[in-house]
Structure 1
């Protein structure tokens, strides 16, 4: 079933029409460079970026963008009203739950005369697994498929002014959640109570109803991605909190550690070294700097101070819009071999951990340096 939604303006658009036009124009330039006639978009991040629509991940949905002409949405009928609220796309094919979305999409490709076209697809999309791709190939035997992987991920690295405004807002929410968790902590308090305080705060402040925190305490405080437990805080415990709310899909991240009753001297010293190393790293972050040089500032300082024998993880990675099933974006990451340059408009989660404590912030690359978007005081908190 094909419907026109020309008369319906999206009431919940994330960005104005001119921003979408600019993104579509840049995307079509990349399509032309690849000799693609049509681009198949099914990755959530890029559905949002180009068309404004954030589909649920339950059932396959996609948008077809031709090199010339209007895009075509292939949308679950149950989500039609949400599509109209969010997307500027005017041409929509709806399918019922008993229909196979790939079969519907393939039939629409043939109906529009694209059955022998050059099709760009993102082979790195979580929504195009091998079986689904093989199904597309079987249904469209005369289509030539072109790998469009990483193109839009790279395009999204440089944030627009409107996107930066979103990042500022979600950073504000992350700060509020962090302080709510820290202020809830104390002897006899469950780590779950700290998580509840954070979640309540970020939801009140405007966060999406998604995962908003990673919290662990006591002997598990260095389990940065550990499952939330029911540990009751005791004197000497470390409470690890990572505030990770989303605001309309855009995420900020922020880590702080709190010590119940106060830190021993060695932990206080570790915190001072880690915070100083990060401050030096932030100061070095500016357009044109090589990522490996920025990375080495924290990595080398922590190892040389004896806080860790080895340092295998990133010291930072890309932030922006993130959609399920992904939880992090490593299009750019800070490692010893990272031979890429920082550019104005990039946003990163910069972090370090050692000795059972962790610190991190959301950092924007500006024209002349960097700006810390998360504003929570940089210290080892005592509760």
Structure 2
């Protein structure tokens, strides 16, 4: 029997399979594996779960991962192979159990590479592969109450970690010292791991001409903080694989009147975006509220990036953000109740963002730190 938490997810996927004419679905996307089965693992060797339209699913993975898989998943049929065996051949053997069928897969999944497609096609001649395009991310867009609760727990940890950094950072410390403060807070307050997020000295980090966003994803340097510096902090803690994210700027000493005014205006413009978001609103319209105001007021010279993207679970994959469902001028989707987003903006070396939940009435912040430049107590 499928547990109550997973039954709606399985039926949602099976509905998509029926619509596409697929008899089986080969799930090899790390985050979708967790969403669908309760377990995920990095692709050291090829692995995945086979879901038929009727009957029980089958997990296929390396033998060393069998015990943690069985401990976490509701799927009873777990087939394993030794590391010296051919993982794709093992998967093909299990797929043959289901006879001559149309096999659905997400061709945009990091697991379903061109090599995997070609190898399985060679092992299963005559198989008709059905592309359920981008389903691994889009099907998980609307979160259930369990998922939102995990994001909310992560948001609480993020708020606490930001406060700990603001309290503990001081001149002569480095960005990595701020990261160490956050990592300790993460681990002692229930986060999955110590992956903190990008932290940099904003106006000494690499700056991209025109939009000044080089500090957002800058790597650590050994530069020491000095009075008057702005520390950029983005925190990304996970609980049960589900992440919250938010950004603040922390001033070493009292922030200048100019910076304080810029941040207040950024917050007001983003608040207007938040106020406009509710179920049914077009994503491109919500994006335009912030984007056009930032440009028209001269806070940005250009705006090449998105203004938000959906949040969810994050496993060990090449991608650290889910940008298939994101806010930009060409976004052709509408907000739905139960979605969770990281909405963000930056200007002149300052950054502001929140984790938000789309409710029946609008847009609710899950991160609660004051929306201003924070001042380092150190």
TM range (shorter): over 0.9
How far, CA to CA, are the matches of 2:169 and 2:327 in structure 1? 32
Matched positions, count: 367
Deviation per CA, 1:209-237, whole angstroms, max 9, x where unpaired? Answer: 25222100141184211112222110111
1:301-326 Cα distance to aligned partner (Å, 9 max, x none): 21122121111111111001122212
Aligned partner (choices 222, 226, 229) of residue 230 of structure 1: 222
* 355, 379, 382: which one aligns with 2:375: 382
Structure 2 partner of 1:124: 108
Indicate the residue corresponding to 2:72 in structure 1.
86
Contact 1:198 1:213 in 2 (8 A): no
Identify the residue that residue 11 of structure 1 maps to in structure 2. none
Aligned to 2:331: 338
Q: Distance in 2 between matches of 1:247 and 1:231?
A: 32
Q: Work out the CA distance in 1 between the residues paired with 2:252 and 2:362.
A: 36
- The answer to whether the 8 A contact 2:340-2:356 is kept is yes
The CA distance in 1 between the partners of 2:34 and 2:153, in whole Å, is: 18
TM-score, L = length of structure 2 = 0.94
Instruction: Determine the C-alpha separation between the residues in 1 that align with 2:283 and 2:105.
Output: 29
Matched, 1:366 2:359: yes
Report 1 or 2 for greater relative contact order, CA contacts < 8 Å, sequence distance ≥ 6: 2
Cα deviations by residue, 1:152-188 (Å, 9 ceiling, x for unpaired): 4222111111111111111111111111122222222
Hey, what's the Cα distance between the residues in 2 that align with 1:354 and 1:57?
38
SS, match of residue 84 in structure 1? helix
- How far is the alpha carbon of 1:113 from its aligned partner? 4.1
- SS at 2:94's partner residue? helix
SS of corresponding position for 1:17: coil
Contact 2:154 2:239 in 1 (8 A): yes
Kept in 1, the 8 Å contact 2:22–2:130? The answer is: yes
Q: Is the 8 A contact 2:357 2:366 kept in 1?
A: yes
Q: Which residue does the alignment assign to 1:201?
A: 185
Deviations 1:215-273 (A, max 9, x none): 00141184211112222110111100001111111011010001112223322221111
Where 1:375 maps in the other structure, the secondary structure is coil
Q: State how 1:38-49 maps to structure 2 within 5 Å.
A: 38-49=24-35
Matched residues in 2 for 1:84 and 1:340: separation? 37
Candidates 289, 293, 298, aligned match of 1:301? 293
SS of corresponding position for 1:266: helix
Q: Specify the alignment match of 1:327 in structure 2.
A: 320
Which residue pairs with 1:188 in the alignment? 172
RMSD over aligned CA atoms reads: 1.5
Unaligned regions of 5+ residues in structure 1, if any? Answer: 1-5, 7-15
**TM-score normalised per structure 1:** 0.92
Q: Check conservation: 2:197, 2:236, Cα contact below 8 A.
A: yes
Structure 2 residue corresponding to 1:178, chosen from 139, 162, 168: 162
* 2:304 pairs with 1:318: no
Q: C-alpha displacement at 1:127, in angstroms?
A: 1.0
- The aligned counterpart of 1:271 is 263
- 1:13 paired residue number: none
Q: Is contact 1:199-1:213 (8 Å) kept? A: no
**Structure 2 stretches lacking a partner, 5+ long:** 207-213
- Is structure 2 residue 236 aligned with structure 1 residue 250? no
Indicate the residue corresponding to 2:53 in structure 1.
67
- Alignment match, 1:35: 21
Residue from 46, 69, 84 that aligns with 1:98: 84
Whether 1:288 aligns to 2:274 is no
**Is residue 166 of structure 1 aligned with residue 150 of structure 2?**
yes
**Cα displacement string for residues 267-311 of structure 1 (whole angstroms, at most 9, x for unaligned residues):** 222111101111111111111111122112211221122121111
Partner of residue 136, structure 1: 120
Q: Which piece of structure 1 moves more, 174-183 or 357-366?
A: 174-183
- Report the more deviating stretch, 349-358 or 147-156: 147-156
- 8 Å CA contact 2:42–2:315 kept in 1: the answer is no
SS of 1:18's equivalent in the other structure is coil
